[in-house]
Structure 1
Amino acid sequence: MDLAGALWRTLPWRALAAAGALGLLVAGAPLATGAEPAPWQTLLLLRGAALIGALGLAFLLDDPARHLTVPVPTPRLVRQVLRVALVAPLAVLWWTAALLLTPSASRPPAGGVTLEAVAVGALALAAAALAVRLTDEARPGPYVAAVLLLTAVLVPLLAPEDWALFVQAGDPRWSVGHDRWAVLAAAVALVGAVCGPEPLGRKAGR
C-alpha cells in the first residue's frame, strides 16, 4: 500500500488530465454544437479521442526518481504494472464518458471501437516501456508521444489496403479488421511486458 501511495503521487497527472479533457472535448463536439454527424464522422471523433488519450498514457512511465529507485527491492516491472493498474479504472470511466458523449444514432459498435482504443493505449505504454528499457531518460514521455503521433499519421497512409484496420462500421471487413486490432493489442502488450524488467547489466553497473 505504501508503494501504491508513493506511485500515485508521482503519476503525471497534468499530462493525463490534459489528454483526458481534450479527448472528451473532441468526442463531445457534436453534443456541444448541436450537430448531427454521420456515422463515419462519429467514428473519426472517437478514434481521435482514443489517440489523444493514448498520448496522455505515453507519459505514464515517466519517473523523475528513476535513477534512485533502481536499487529498491520492488522490481521495475512491478512498479510499472502498478502504475497502469492505478490509472486503469480512471481510463475506463473516461472512455465510457467519451462513448456516451457521442450521438447514439451515429455511434459505432462500442466493442469494436473500444478494442481500437485499447490497442492504441497499449501501443503507447509499450513504446514508453521500450524507451525506459533502452535509454536512461527519466521522462521519455514527450519523445514517446511524438513517435506515437507520427505513427498514427503514417500507418493509415502506408498500410496495405487489405490490412483493413481503419474501416467504417458498415464495412464487411469490420470484423476481420478488429481481429487484427486484437492481435495488435496482444502483441504490443507482450512487448511492454518484455521491456519491463531492468536490464541486468545496467542494474549491476549502477
Structure 2
Amino acid sequence: MPVNGATTRGVPVAQLLRPVARTLPWWTLAAGGGLGLLLAAAPRLTGDGASGGSVPTALRAAALAFALGAAFWLDDPARHTTAAVPARRALRHGLRLALLAPVAALWWTAALLLVPQPVRPPVAGITVEAATALALALTGAACAVHRGDGTRPGPAVAGFLLVTAVLSPLLCPEDWALFVAPGDERWPAAHDRWAVLLGVVLVAGAACLTEPLRRHRLRRLRSPSGT
C-alpha cells in the first residue's frame, strides 16, 4: 500500500531517504565546500577585494573545489549489493541528487555573500559557471557508473575535472573564450556558451541515470532469489 504517496515497486520513496543519506560521502563534500569557502573569502581576507580583480578567479576556484568534492557523490562501496533492490538506479541516484541540491544552493549563497557586494561579479553569469562545474562532476560520475562496474568513480572523475579546469583556459580559442572578466565585452557571449554547455551536460547526465540495457535484460532473466 502506498505510503506518503510515492512508491517504486512497492518501496516508499520516503523510506529510502534515510538509508541513502547514510551512504553519502558527506566528508568529501564538506572538505571541498570548506576549501571553496576559504577560496571565496580569500580576496576579502587578503585585502584584494577592494579592487575586485581577483574576485572572479576566487569564485571560480571555489566552485571547482565544491565540484571536486561532489565528484565523489555517487561513490557507493555497496553498489553491487544495492543493485538488487527494487528501486531503480534512476531513483537511487535521483535521491542522492535531491539531497545534494539544497546543500549546493546554500553553499553557493554563502560563497557569494563572502564577496563584497560592490565587487561581486554578475550573479547570474558566475552562477551558471558554478552550476556547469558541478554538473560536469556529477555527470562524469554518473557516466562512469553507467558504463562500468566500479563502486568509487570519484577519484578518476575529480582528476579529470581538475585537468579539464586547468587546460580549458589554455586550449580554448580566443573567439570561444569561457573565462572572461565581468567588464569584458565578451561576458554575455561567453555565458551564452556556458548555458549551452550546461544544458548539454545535464542531458548527458540524465541519459546516464538509466540502467544499462544489457544489465536490465540480465536482471529480468534472474529468479526472485537472484540466481
Alignment TM class, shorter chain as reference: over 0.9
Higher RCO (CA 8 Å, separation ≥ 6 residues):
1
What percent of counterpart residues are identical? 57
With the length of structure 2 as denominator, give the TM-score of the two structures.
0.87
Selected match of 1:104 from 95, 117, 140: 117
Selected match of 1:186 from 191, 199, 205: 199
Unaligned runs of 5+ in 2: 1-13, 220-227
Confirm or deny that 1:21 pairs with 2:34.
yes
C-alpha distance after superposition, 1:8-51 (max 9, x if no partner) = 11110110000010000110123333443533310000000001
1:200 CA displacement: 2.5
1:205 CA displacement: 4.3
The match for 1:168 is 181
The match for 2:56 is 43
With the length of structure 1 as denominator, give the TM-score of the two structures.
0.95
Dislocated runs of 4+, deviation >4 Å: 203-206
The change in CA–CA distance for 1:17 and 1:92 in structure 2 (over 3 A counts) is same
The match for 1:57 is 70
Paired residues for 1:1-206 under 5 Å? 1-205=14-218
Question: What value does the CA root-mean-square deviation take over the aligned residues?
Answer: 1.3
Distance, in Å, in 2 between the alignment partners of 1:96 and 1:62 is 26
The change in CA–CA distance for 1:35 and 1:156 in structure 2 (over 3 A counts) is closer
Unaligned runs of 5+ in 1: none
Q: Is the 8 A contact 2:180 2:190 kept in 1?
A: yes
